[in-house]
Structure formats: C-alpha cells, structure tokens
Amino acid sequence: MKNAFLHGEISEEIYMDSPPGMIDSIGMKVCKIKKALYGLKQSPGAWFGRFTKSMKAFGYRASNSDHTLFLKRGKGRITTLIIYVDDTIVTGNDQDEISSLQQYLASDFEMKQLGNLKYFLGIEVARSKHGIFLCQRKYTIDLLSKTGLLGSKNHLIHQLNRIINFFNAQI
C-alpha cells in the first residue's frame, strides 16, 4: 500500500500553522486539515478506520483475536488479509477471491504488488519442494553480528550457527 496514512479521513477539526510563505492575502496563519498527514497523531487511526470500512464493504470481517486480520469464508473456501501499517499479506485457497480483493483494493487505494512473500515483520519466508519455511535467520545473523558473536566457538552460539546453516541449505 503506497502512502497509507494519506488515505485516512479526518473526522475532527484540526488546524496547523501555515507553511512558510503560505500566508494568504487576508493574513490567514493557519490551515484546516482535511486529510490525514504523516506525523499527525490521528493519522494511523484515520487510515485504519477507512481501511476497515473498505474491507467490511467487500464482505470481510475482522478477526476477534486480531483486529488487523480480515477473513472471508464461503463454500469451503477462505481468504485472509493481514495488515501491518501499510504492508499486507493476502492468502487463501480461493484464487478468484484473492484476485477480486486485489483489484478491489487497487481501485480504492494506491497499491504495489511485490510478488510472492519473502520477508514480513522480521520473518523470512522461503519456499522449496519440501514446503514453506519460516525463520528469523537474517534477524539472528544481524543480532550475532552486532554483538560480535558471529563465528564464535561458544557452544550455544555454535548451535545457532548450525541452525542458520541448516536454513541456508533449505533455501
């Protein structure tokens, strides 16, 4: 999703100082904000409210356990969407519904398709003939590197390095 917060609709009156050089002929020194802006504390809520309304209008319901997870079920099929700020994952066993949802969202918001999922919230997603592997290999390598323990002979660190090498072999 491109520029997610700019899609939010502000429901309260908010004013800001005019940008430098923008004082009009009658001396107005403030501007009334009509749309959400990055940095405005109301923007995340405004954006998510609009997104939720749009998802519900398309027949999805928010999960009771996670309000960022939206589900649509029917005829033994399920399609899910999870969102984190402006990153979304759409999956399910109904390819027609997935395509319809992507087209619907693209008509309402500016979208960017990134292809198959490779990385989300610090979790790597790797596909092979054996299935889908989820791991935090990159996070672990970065952590070991930052602490100076990458390549360490410490037994625990050695075990972590073996796990990393195992996942490297699977990918």
Q: Spell out the per-residue pLDDT of the chain, length 171, in tens.
A: 555 555 556 667 766 676 666 666 556 677 776 666 655 666 667 778 888 999 999 999 999 999 999 999 988 999 999 988 778 889 899 999 999 999 999 887 777 777 788 888 888 888 888 888 888 888 888 887 888 777 766 666 667 777 777 777 766
Report how far residue 29's alpha carbon sits from residue 156's, in angstroms, rounded to the nearest whole number: 62
The Cα-based distances of 27 to 16, 24, 66 in angstroms read 15, 5, 48
Give the model's pLDDT for residue 23. Answer: 62
Give the model's pLDDT for residue 9. Answer: 67
Give the model's pLDDT for residue 7. Answer: 56
| One-character DSSP codes across the chain | --SGGGG-B--S--EEEPPTT---TT---EEE--B--TT-TTHHHHHHHHHHHHHHHTT-EE-SS-TTEEEEEETTEEEEEEEETTEEEEEES-HHHHHHHHHHHHHHS------S--EETTEEEEEETTEEEEE-HHHHHHHHHHTT-TT---HHHHHHHHHHHHHHHH-
Residues 6+ apart with CB under 8 A from 94: 77, 78, 79
Give the model's pLDDT for residue 38. Answer: 54
Cβ–Cβ < 8 Å for 116, 127:
yes
Report how far residue 125's alpha carbon sits from residue 129's, in angstroms, rounded to the nearest whole number: 14
Question: Any idea where the domains of the chain sit in the sequence?
Answer: 1-115, 117-171
Give the model's pLDDT for residue 93. Answer: 93
